[in-house]
């Protein structure tokens, strides 16, 4: 049985680091940071993220035109969780020796992601660091800023028992869990399932803003930590969430990963999105409108009273 920790990723250690950081900067912990523009009703939201070891698959398959979309998606999907609309994006591309052909493919993907998110690619940085990376390899980071009105913030504080959890479909593993995937799959498997694994992370900006946001009380981008670590960030202390795992069809790629690696069901829901890339918590009266607004959206659970935790049943 393979676990994420055995693959080199310790989610608990990451959570512990966040708790230490929060002692120094108490505002840290949301899906994005918020900054009030003095003298206005405007808030700036900012996020920073990368693509992770999904890049290893891009190197193996020599396919670099989609990871830029992943980069944008991982940032803007965090921004929209508080109701912010992405305004601009910057990238950081670092490599040992610059291959213009590869870099151009990556940047092309970043621009495509920005177009999907409706934001401006404002600029970035290209760093050539000789001897730091293996030949043909590179790393990516991104930074996104969005805006929203103070009175329209989605904070999760208004979530209450009886609210409905709606799941928005993913395009696959998105950009999380690839250390485990590479532990489970051989090079031959990675090539066989490469198309499914490299499918770019779905960008949810248009989906989110097509819903009646005044009725949305909380949102969670399902990334590292899966259902357990992300949804809990969008609910108050007196609430829990129940996710009903049979309420949507799990994509085949997740079934293959689980079977081949003998990964436990709980570990799968803690590492991967399992086909649900964004969870939206809304008032029951607005649930039908939210589901109708996004193709493939469905009710996947509900908010309960009691302990602040997420249960997948």
Q: State residue 19's pLDDT score.
A: 63
**What's the chain's Rg over C-alpha atoms?**
19
Q: What is the pLDDT of residues 133-185, one digit of tens each?
A: 999 999 999 999 999 999 999 999 999 999 999 999 999 999 999 999 999 99
For CATH 3.30.1330.10, the residue range(s) in the chain are 31-152
Sheet with 138-149, edge to edge strand ranges = 33-36, 42-50, 138-149, 85-95, 120-128
- Which helix (H) or strand (E) segment holds residue 158: the answer is none
For CATH 3.90.650.10, the residue range(s) in the chain are 164-312
Q: State residue 14's pLDDT score.
A: 59
Q: Which residue is it, tokens 């035109």?
A: 65
Q: State residue 196's pLDDT score.
A: 97
Identify the residue with better confidence: 21 or 156.
Answer: 156
| Structure tokens that stand for 311 in this block | 């249960």
Q: Which residues contact 171 (CB under 8 A, 6 or more apart)?
A: 199, 200, 201, 202, 277
Q: What is the pLDDT of residues 193-223, one digit of tens each?
A: 999 999 999 999 999 999 999 999 999 999 9
CATH topology of domain 164-312: Phosphoribosyl-aminoimidazole Synthetase; Chain A, domain 2 (3.90.650)
pLDDT bin (cut points 50, 70, 90) of residue 3 is confident
pLDDT bin (cut points 50, 70, 90) of residue 23 is low
pLDDT bin (cut points 50, 70, 90) of residue 279 is very high
Locate the DSSP E strands across 42-188.
Answer: 42-50, 85-95, 120-128, 138-149, 164-169
Q: State residue 21's pLDDT score.
A: 56
Q: What CATH architecture is 31-152?
A: 2-Layer Sandwich (3.30)
Q: State residue 18's pLDDT score.
A: 55
Q: State residue 15's pLDDT score.
A: 57
Q: State residue 30's pLDDT score.
A: 81
Distances (CA, A) of 307 to 11, 131, 302: 21, 50, 14
């Amino acid at each position: 049985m393979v676990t994420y920790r055995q693959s080199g990723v310790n989610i608990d250690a990451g959570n512990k680091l966040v708790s230490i950081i929060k002692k120094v900067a108490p505002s840290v912990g949301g899906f994005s940071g918020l900054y009030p523009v003095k003298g206005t009703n405007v808030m700036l939201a900012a996020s920073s993220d990368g693509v992770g070891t999904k890049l290893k698959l891009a190197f193996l398959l020599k396919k670099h035109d989609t990871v830029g979309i992943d980069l944008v998606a991982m940032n803007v999907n965090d921004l929209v969780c508080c109701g912010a609309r992405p305004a601009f994006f910057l990238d950081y591309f670092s490599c040992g020796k610059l291959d213009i052909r590869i870099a151009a493919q990556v940047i092309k993907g970043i621009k495509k992601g920005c177009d999907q998110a409706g934001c401006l690619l404002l600029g970035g940085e290209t760093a050539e660091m000789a001897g730091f990376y293996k030949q043909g390899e590179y790393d990516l980071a991104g930074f996104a800023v969005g805006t929203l009105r103070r009175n329209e913030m989605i904070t999760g504080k208004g979530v209450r028992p009886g609210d409905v959890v709606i799941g928005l479909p993913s395009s696959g593993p998105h950009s999380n869990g690839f250390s485990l995937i590479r532990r489970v799959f051989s090079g031959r498997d990675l090539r066989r399932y490469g198309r499914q694994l490299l499918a770019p992370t779905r960008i949810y900006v248009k989906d989110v803003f097509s819903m009646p946001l005044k009725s949305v009380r909380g949102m969670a981008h399902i990334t590292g930590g899966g259902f357990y670590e992300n949804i809990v960030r969008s609910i108050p202390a007196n609430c829990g969430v129940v996710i009903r795992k049979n309420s949507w069809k799990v994509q085949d790629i997740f079934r293959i990963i689980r079977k081949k690696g003998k990964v436990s069901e709980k570990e799968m829901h803690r590492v991967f999105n399992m086909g649900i890339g964004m969870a939206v918590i809304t008032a029951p009266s607005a649930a039908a409108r939210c589901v109708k607004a996004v193709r493939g959206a469905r009710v996947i659970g509900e908010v309960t009273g009691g302990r602040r935790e997420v249960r997948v049943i």
